[in-house]
Amino acid sequence: MLYIGVDLGTSAVKLLLMDEKGKIHNIVSKEYPLSFPHPGWSEQNPQDWKEQSLAGIKELIADADKSQIAGISFGGQMHGLVVLDENDEVIRPAILWNDGRTTKETDYLNEVIGKDKLSKYTANIAFAGFTAPKILWLKEQEPENFAKINKIMLPKDYLAYVLSGVHCTDYSDASGMLLLDVEHKCWSKEMLEICNVKEEQLPTLYESYEVVGNVKPEIAEELGIPSSVKVIAGAGDNAAAAVGTGTVGEGRCNISLGTSGTIFISSKKFGVDEHNALHSFDHADGYYHLMGCMLSAASCNKWWMDEILKTKEYAKEQEQIRKLGENKVFYLPYLMGERSPHNDPKARATFIGMTMDTTREDMTQAVLEGVAFGLRDSLEVARSLGIQIERTKICGGGAKSPLWKKIVANVMNLKVDVIESEEGPGYGGAILAAVGCKEFASVEEATEKLVKIVDTVEPDAELVAKYEERYQKFRQIYPTLKGLFQELN
């Protein structure tokens, strides 16, 4: 049988066709625009997701035996606020995960409602990118739109609705709304009251591998697929990527170098760190995970290459970088503010340490290292909880760089396992579809059979020591500049 995985990203939707043995038959990518109506705002039109996803599916399966397509599932950008009216029409553009307009609402939740209460209700505190602060912003700034809300959805769930007609979400994605009681897997009545939201305005909750319905007959006809094709709930992009890399069960780790950067640690036990520096979310395998998320990762390198160096030759720019662990230039990777572990939307990116002999290569190297150091900040929080990680999988666009993988391995002092398919959320979505269609008994069984390690980047003791010294300097920069960032904003 064949399974479709949909990775609904920030800049494009990436679609993947996989068979029951995990072989990828085709991959299609369709881009759509990103809108910045005001500084720090980030929006998209859900209609673009719908049009490009449907067009992409048609292209994806054009040469496939369509009668063999059994299921479709998703990995999607998290936290985005999609609001529908009583006719299921989109009320306004979706407010995305990397939108920074909700400082006031986030402060209200954390300081007035209180972090202790938020953590008790949801296992998390408020971050500017989360959905609940966006709901409060909409209530305050666009009351006429707030009054029209019949359903509140997340980006990938809007696609699931388009395909199936079902208003659904999964526990992993819902965990990032700040509306879910993560430990008990139900909507938090306290948070709904705080946000003035009724439970009937929220989608039905499913495990990521559960079937929510079948493709609607008119959609099946449009795509040329059987109406028996099942739609499976899917997962937030990081949980889906973790499935795609086999990061399920107890004590596994995955690092994602995508638009945002994450360190993802799976667990069969629920847990929260003392300061809520890491997100405590439900996982797509039915259990739990801790996650540190930085808002700008591979996007830092894209910004540096595209906007500053004006080049698309990413690999070429890295060819001359030789002196790892010896760079005098540091880069703070906070282009969009920062989430884990600082929770500071006013933080900003900066270079420091340049001299007259600083080179183009030094600056490029600093960008790569800055992202790795930022991820190390979250790893240190996990280590403070007694979590011992010796190796990690890696995925995302940045994982295609051999140099960046080497930097990550040595900054983190972890063995970095490279898997056969680096497709992350799309591959995870396809695996969830296969589990939902009973191809496998569980997500763990599916990943054990389908996810294959093809290479391991080992840390070098001498380089680890050099990077340890650099990291201890790096971690002093943000606290030193924090007050200035507040003034600059």
**Residue range 449-453: mean pLDDT, rounded:** 95
214 and 306 inside one domain: no
> 330 and 230 share a domain?
no
Q: Are residues 260 and 208 in the same domain?
A: no
The residue-averaged pLDDT of 147-155 equals: 98
Residues 228 and 335 in one domain: no
Query: Can 237 be counted among the known catalytic residues?
Result: yes
Least Cα distance to 142 among 91, 195, 176, 178 occurs for: 91
Q: Is the predicted pLDDT of residue 153 greater than 90, yes or no?
A: yes
Mean pLDDT score across all residues of the chain? 96
224 and 267 fall within a common domain: no
259 plus 407 within the same structural domain: yes
Which of 203, 238, 273 is the last residue before a domain boundary?
A: 238
The stretch 38-60 carries a mean pLDDT of: 96
On whether the CB atoms of residues 346 and 485 are closer than 8 A, the answer is yes
Who's near 200: CB < 8 A, 6+ residues apart? none
Q: Give the pLDDT confidence score for residue 82 in this predicted structure.
A: 98
Asked if residue 449 is part of any domain, the answer here is no
Are residues 185 and 296 part of one domain? Answer: no
Query: In this predicted structure, what is the pLDDT of residue 415?
Result: 98
Q: Is residue 393 part of a domain?
A: yes
Tell me: pLDDT of 458 over 80: yes
- Pick out the residues of the known binding site for substrate: 78-79
Q: Is the dihedral of CA 363, 369, 371, 377 positive or negative?
A: negative
Q: Identify whether 454 is part of a domain.
A: no
Is position 328 within any domain?
Answer: yes
Task: Please state, in angstroms and as integers, the Cα–Cα distance from residue 451 to each residue in 207, 268, 358, following that order.
Answer: 21, 20, 42
- Does some domain include residue 430? no
Of 170, 173, 181, 237, which is the active-site residue?
237
pLDDT at 407: 98
Q: What is the pLDDT of residue 343?
A: 84
pLDDT higher than threshold 80 for residue 47: yes
Q: Does residue 159 surpass a pLDDT of 90?
A: yes
Positive or negative torsion for Cα 361, 363, 364, 365: positive
Mean pLDDT of 48-59: 98
Cβ atoms of residues 208 and 288 within 8 Å: no
What is the distance, to the nearest Å, from the Cα of residue 14 to the centroid of all Cα atoms in its chain?
A: 14
244-275 burial: b if 16+ Cβ within 10 Å, else e = bbbbbbeebbbbbbbbbbbbbbbbeebbbbee
pLDDT in the model for residue 479: 97
Of 131-140, 159-168, 195-204, 290-299, where does mean pLDDT reach its minimum?
Answer: 290-299
Of the chain, the end-to-end C-alpha distance in Å amounts to 54
> Contact 314/98 with Cβ under 8 angstroms?
no
47 and 165 co-located in one domain: yes
Which helix (DSSP H) or strand (DSSP E) does residue 314 occupy?
helix 314-318
Secondary structure of 204-246 in the HEC alphabet?
EEECCCCEEEECCHHHHHHHCCCCCCEEECCEEHHHHHHHHCC
- 406 alpha carbon, distance to own chain's centre: 22
Last residue of a domain, one of 238, 269, 299: 238
For β-strands 230-232 and 69-76, DSSP reports them as parallel
pLDDT value at residue 424: 81
State the Cα–Cα distance between residues 217 and 223, nearest whole angstrom: 10
Q: What is the pTM of this model?
A: 0.89
**Are 172 and 271 in the same domain?**
no
Give per-residue pLDDT as tens, 222-277.
Answer: 999 999 999 999 999 989 999 999 999 988 999 999 888 999 999 998 988 888 88
Contact 418, 455 (CB under 8 A): yes
CATH number of residue 166's parent domain: 3.30.420.40
> What residues make up the domain containing 311?
249-423+459-488
Q: Residues annotated in the binding site, as ranges?
A: 78-79
Q: Are 324 and 463 in contact (CB under 8 A)?
A: yes
Q: Which residue has the tokens 């270079």?
A: 351
Q: What percent of the chain has pLDDT over 90?
A: 90
Closest to 85 measured CA to CA, from 167, 145, 150, 9: 150
Q: What is the pLDDT of residue 273?
A: 86
CA angle 318, 28, 450 (to 5 degrees): 85
Backbone φ and ψ for 234, nearest 5 degrees, come out as 85, -165
The label of the residue with tokens 């109406």 reads 227
- Alpha-carbon distance 470 to 286, whole Å? 39
User: Is it true that the peptide bond before 37 is cis, omega within 30 degrees of 0?
Assistant: no
Is residue 230 located within the same domain as residue 318?
Answer: no
Place of tokens 């390690």: 453
Rounded-to-integer distance, Cα 248 and Cα 286, Å? 9
- Both 58 and 138 in a single domain? yes
**Residue 452 within a domain:** no
**β-strands 168-170, 204-206: how paired?**
parallel
For residue 396, name the pLDDT band (cuts at 50, 70, 90): confident
Helix (H, G, I), strand (E, B), or coil: what is residue 256? strand
Write down the pLDDT at residue 259. 85
Q: What is the pLDDT of residue 421?
A: 81
pLDDT exceeds cutoff 80 at 422: no
Q: 306 and 193 in one domain?
A: no
Out of 215, 238, 261, a domain closes at: 238
Q: Is 178 left (phi over 0), alpha (psi -120 to 50) or beta?
A: left
Q: How many domains does the chain have?
A: 2
Q: Please state the rounded mean pLDDT for residues 139-158.
A: 98
For residue 489, pLDDT over 90 is answered with no
Q: Is 450 contained in some domain?
A: no
How far is 59 from 128, CA to CA, in rounded Å? 37
Other Cβ atoms closer than 10 A to 181 = 18
Q: Is residue 433 part of a domain?
A: no
